[in-house]
Amino acid sequence: MATHIKLSLDTRRKDTKTFPLIFRLTHNRKTTSIGTGHQLFVSDWDQKRHQIKPSFKGTESPARLNNLLQKRMAYMVDMLTQLEDNNKLKYMSVSEVRSYITRTSNKVTFYQFTEQQIQDMLKSKRVGNARVYKHTLNAVKNFRKSKDFTFDELNLDFLNRFEKYHLGKGNKLGGLSVYLRTIRAINRKAIKSGIADNEGYAFNDYIIRSGKPEKRALPINAIRKIAELELDENTALYRDRNIFMMSFLLNGMSFVDMAHLKLSNLIDGRIKYSRKKTNEPYNIKIHNQLKPFLTFFTKGKEKSDYLLNIIKSDIPTDSYNQIVWARKRFNDNLKKLAELAGIEENITSYAARHSFASGANDMGIPLTAISQMLGHKRISTTQAYLANLRKSKMDEYQDEIFGQLSEKRTIS
């Protein structure tokens, strides 16, 4: 048979530390790959035996994962053998062979795949993401009355019925939007892993309606009013005002990322860390205006100490709950700060991030630069992020255009 398949680590990219584990399919001297959904360090891959080493930390049991991968490969090899026995294989292209064996080998269900994603997130200490996936899985199970299904059944009709079911129970559009965006993310990961078929991707035809409230960015003069409030240093208001200003002066750093900052992240006049949401490395200059606020949180602390003293536990679920409660108290105090500063806008922990993004956009800073400063992986994310922050600027342009109608002109 001029066709074979093997498990291998794809180390072609040189700009990364971990590499995708793939099934490499060769057919008539042409090759293609089938993803497994796993990323490994070279040190965790046994090249001689074509299997994952026990040192791999990306799963609870490397031995069990090796067994599952071998079963999946055996199933695909069996499909290849059947094609050859039926004299069909030689007439197929390598892409047709790939499509056939990935579609027919799809035995992983939606529930199984999602549960695995949740476990992987918990192991990576991405507790917030894991909870969103768990809530979404529970919502789907309620809709399906716990009946499992394959990704082939995740079609346009499924999405429309899920929407009707959710809204029919009196739930809000915002919750539906979160569930559907999570289902979409799960579907995309399944396609990348070779579990689902790209041809059956229903979100090409389904539009997720946004239920998010309009986000309000603060003008720079409102930010200045908050910064200049005279507050007692021994109060929670003083502390939370400083956290708000730090968020703004750190390019709109999220509350979760600030909660995870340690003094060890302060290196040579910069703050270096990885975003919890995306795990992307981030490097920010410590601006002179940031230093007074930063000094308040660094007094008398060691390099291993957290900057904000929010996280008290090494257990990811506990630390996540501690951040949630701290953010609730922070939002309550932001309302009080807004009142003291005479600001009518509703302020939450996201206001500093939105204000930074909006201010940068109004100044004409290139979208690519704003995207990098916000820590977005894709410019499209930044475009969507800024879409509802531009209204005030559009109003100014409108006033400028229509204002010409009332200008007095001298007729000679």
Average pLDDT over residues 2-11: 89
DSSP 58-73: SSS-HHHHHHHHHHHH
Element (H, E) at 332: helix 316-341
Taking the CA atoms of 73, 76, 81 and 82 in sequence, report the sign of the dihedral they define.
positive
Average pLDDT over residues 100-111: 72
Taking the CA atoms of 335, 336, 338 and 343 in sequence, report the sign of the dihedral they define.
positive
Termini Cα distance of the chain: 91
Strand pairing report for 266-267 and 270-274: antiparallel
Average pLDDT over residues 200-213: 75
Contacts with 288 (C-beta within 8 Å, 6 or more apart), sequence order = none
Query: How confident is the model at residue 191, as a pLDDT?
Result: 84
pTM for the whole structure: 0.56
Q: Which of 76-80, 237-241, 381-385 has the highest mean pLDDT?
A: 237-241
User: Is residue 172 pLDDT above 60, yes or no?
Assistant: yes
Q: What is the pLDDT of residues 292-304, one digit of tens each?
A: 888 899 888 999 9
Query: How confident is the model at residue 334, as a pLDDT?
Result: 93
Q: Which of 137, 76, 126 is nearest to 274 (CA)?
A: 126
Q: What is the pLDDT of residues 255-288, one digit of tens each?
A: 999 999 999 999 998 999 888 877 778 888 888 8
User: Is residue 23 pLDDT above 70, yes or no?
Assistant: yes
Element (H, E) at 207: none
User: Is residue 214 pLDDT above 70, yes or no?
Assistant: no
Cα→Cα distances 298→82, 260, 275, Å? 67, 14, 21
CA dihedral 361, 364, 365, 371 (to 10 degrees): 40
Average pLDDT over residues 371-398: 68
Average pLDDT over residues 373-388: 73
Q: What is the average pLDDT score of the chain?
A: 84
Band of pLDDT at residue 320, cut at 50, 70 and 90? confident
Average pLDDT over residues 384-396: 60
User: Is residue 314 pLDDT above 90, yes or no?
Assistant: no
Band of pLDDT at residue 412, cut at 50, 70 and 90? very low
Q: What is the pLDDT of residues 178-189, one digit of tens each?
A: 999 999 999 988
CA–CA gap between residue 177 and residue 262 (Å, rounded): 34
Average pLDDT over residues 118-141: 90
Average pLDDT over residues 92-121: 82
CA–CA gap between residue 347 and residue 344 (Å, rounded): 9
Query: How confident is the model at residue 42, as a pLDDT?
Result: 93
DSSP state of 29: T
CA–CA gap between residue 277 and residue 280 (Å, rounded): 8
